A and B are shown apart, each in its own frame.
Chain A
Amino acid sequence: MALIARRILPGYGLTLGITLAFLSSIVLVPLAALFLKAAGLGPSDWARILTSPRTLAAFRLTFGASAAAAGVSTVFGLLIAWVLVRYRFPGRRILDAMVDLPFALPTAVAGITLAQLYGPRGWMGQVLQALGIQGAYSPFGVFIALTFISFPFVVRTVQPVLEDLQPDAEEAAATLGANRLVTFRRILLPTLFPALLTGFTLAFARAIGEYGSVVFISGNLPFKTEILPLLIIGQLEQFHYSAAAVIAASMLLVSFTLLFLINLLQRRLVARSH
């Protein structure tokens, strides 16, 4: 019924045609080419490429630093969203608008700026050095760059949920004798959890694939600060197209699986409280 009713408007064939043509030629066929190329190698080649210590190190760094950055982003993203929504202070509107800067600032600009800032002669680099921490050219530098590009995802996912939150559940908790900390832990946090998880997922997904803001600050030392996207470029530059395809394909598979699992968890959570 709805199916027929919705076809009343014109343009179904035309828009379907344009959409499918663009989608296949720009996204699907090229991605299929990647998987075909990777599938052209046998299991032993896959195993050789993926279990080489250098690839394993890059996998560990990419997924580890991304998870850490997404985790820190989740904590600070919640804090920032909370402060922007609940409190009034001078400069709030400007800061609110600025939160999107990491989305809008080209990654190359972010990359050289963070490298300069956290480098041995940079403002932050010197502060960290005094604390005995190496900023740029270390896994910590990778983590910093990934946090920079990923925290806005959490802010922007949690913020609208907080804005729409009716105060009555918090008030109910107060009339029942709960203090603010208890209310936060037992009422607000569970309510915000699905949004936090979405924010974490978006941040994590973005961090895994990130290249521009990381390459300058990481120093790109094989086994130490080399991320997967860089490893892929390295393979390409040596004309190891198949190896590049295998690393890329497995990276996509791992992140798709993770995103799928988180999505599944998300649906369960939402289904339970609605």
Chain B
Amino acid sequence: MSLRPVTSESLPVRIVLIACAVGFLGLFLLVPLGLVFVEALRRGGSVFLAALTDRHALSAIRLTLFAAAIAVPLNTLFGIAAAWLITKFRFKGRTWLLALIDLPFAVSPVIAGLVWALIFGAQGWLGPWLAEHDIRIIFAVPGIVLATLFVTFPFVARELIPVMEMQGTDEEEAALTLGAGGWQIFRRVTLPNIRWGLLYGVLLCNARAMGEFGAVSVVSGHIRGKTNTLPLHIEVLYNEYQFSAAFAAATLLALLALLTLGLKSLLELRLGSHSSIRH
């Protein structure tokens, strides 16, 4: 009988459990991640570089950055406002509001695209009117932005609400009694307290905005050089059997994911807690 703490398992059991967990993670995380880079470089560095500097690839990157540059700030604004509302005030319907903010998490990305097509598409509610005035939303850039807005909607709010809830309202009330105005309170008292949580939310929102596929796919129309985001560009290349080019483009998004994970780990050290990227 070896002496081990009563709340731990015997060495063989531990080894088997660790092996199972590591095996699963290796198979589901490390092997796929490695494969992205292996496939991308399979036909050499020049093919890899050519795929990244291709005209359509560059325009896809531009569009991806553009959509994120609109969706992320807007949802950040919303996230801050919603978190302030939810955590600083008690009012009727607060629980419902919380549930509604989370709603996009429970909606399939494809449906997130579909709803916009139903409103702005050729057969949608506003389709005829838009056609008359020669405004294109679906199969054009505005549709892509709208779809991205929908899927990334809750990210910032979701990260901020728990952080702000935990901090309570004492400090803000103290600032108020000292004569600070609303904007001053937010900028000088609240913001310094929540900045890491905010950064974290923005990071997650951005990762999802740049990587979104299903929702954007529905409203984009896949017009090369015009309405293809980077994920859509990858799809097109893959379906044309240009595997190396597809994986070359995929390395960019994989690196974005790794960067997000790296920053997330750093921020977690600062926040000192375990929260996670959700959805």
Contacts and interface: CB of A to CB of B under 8 A. Distances in A.
- Point out which of B24, B153, B185, B258 has the most chain A C-beta atoms below 10 A from its C-beta: B24
A16 B85 contact: yes
Interface in B152-201: 153, 169, 172-173, 176, 181-182, 185-186
Nearest to A112: B238
Contacts of B13: 180
A76 B274 CA distance: 19
B114 A112 contact: no
A101 B24 CA distance: 14
A109 B159 CA distance: 25
Nearest to B100: A23
Nearest to B101: A23
Contacts of A232: 108, 110-111, 114
A10 B39 contact: no
Given A12-B85, A109-B211, A112-B246, A205 B106 contact: yes
A86 B8 contact: yes
A252 interface: yes
A229 B89 contact: no
A208 to B, nearest CB: 7
A167 B36 CA distance: 42
Contacts of A159: 274
B202 interface: no
Given A211-B214, A259-B106, A26 B32 contact: no
A31 B84 CA distance: 25
Contacts of A205: 105-106
A79 B17 contact: yes
Given A33-B115, A167-B7, A107 B17 contact: no
A95 B25 CA distance: 7
Main secondary structure of the interface of B (DSSP, over half): helix
Interface size range on A against B = 35 or more
Interface residues of B, number: 101
B104 A27 contact: yes
B110 A9 contact: no
A45 B28 CA distance: 42
A100 B267 CA distance: 14
A245 B118 contact: yes
Contact of B250 (A12, A109, A153): A109
Contacts of A97: 261-262, 264-265
Contact of A34 (B21, B118, B169, B277): B118
B253 A33 contact: no
Contacts of A163: 274
A18 B28 contact: no
B88 interface: yes
A175 B7 CA distance: 11
Contact of B277 (A37, A104, A174, A229): A104
B173 A229 contact: no
Interface in B199-251: 207, 210-214, 217-218, 231-232, 234-235, 238, 243, 246-247, 250
B29 A98 contact: yes
Given A10-B176, A37-B118, A232-B108, 13 more contacts: A10-B182, A105-B254, A112-B238, A116-B35, A117-B35, A124-B31, A159-B274, A170-B7, A171-B6, A174-B6, A210-B108, A212-B231, A255-B106
- Sorted from nearest, which 3 A-B pairs have the closest CB atoms? A106-B211, A209-B108, A10-B182
Interface of A: 2-3, 6-12, 14-16, 18-19, 22-23, 26-31, 33-34, 37, 76, 79-80, 82-84, 86-87, 89, 91, 95, 97-117, 123-124, 147-148, 151-153, 156, 159-160, 163, 167, 170-171, 174-175, 180, 202, 205-206, 208-212, 216, 228-230, 232-233, 236, 239, 241, 244-245, 248, 251-252, 255-256, 259
13 contacts: A8-B173, A9-B173, A89-B22, A98-B30, A103-B278, A116-B35, A123-B35, A156-B276, A205-B106, A210-B108, A212-B217, A245-B118, A248-B110
